[in-house]
Amino acid sequence: MTIDTLGELRAELRECVFTPAERKALERELAELIRRRNEALAAEEGA
């Protein structure tokens, strides 16, 4: 996922209504995607 895509996803999620359990699951999934993106960016910078 690109940085723009993650930003758009965050904006869309802010407007949605979720149960607390759904919100926690989505937050975990988004955190994992951000972690992967950061690792990829760090790898590119180290190359």
| SS3 state at 2 | coil
Per-residue confidence (pLDDT) for residue 47, from 0 to 100: 66
Per-residue confidence (pLDDT) for residue 18, from 0 to 100: 82
| pTM of the predicted structure, to 2 decimals | 0.62
Tens-place pLDDT, residues 1-47: 566 777 787 778 777 888 889 989 988 998 998 899 999 999 998 86
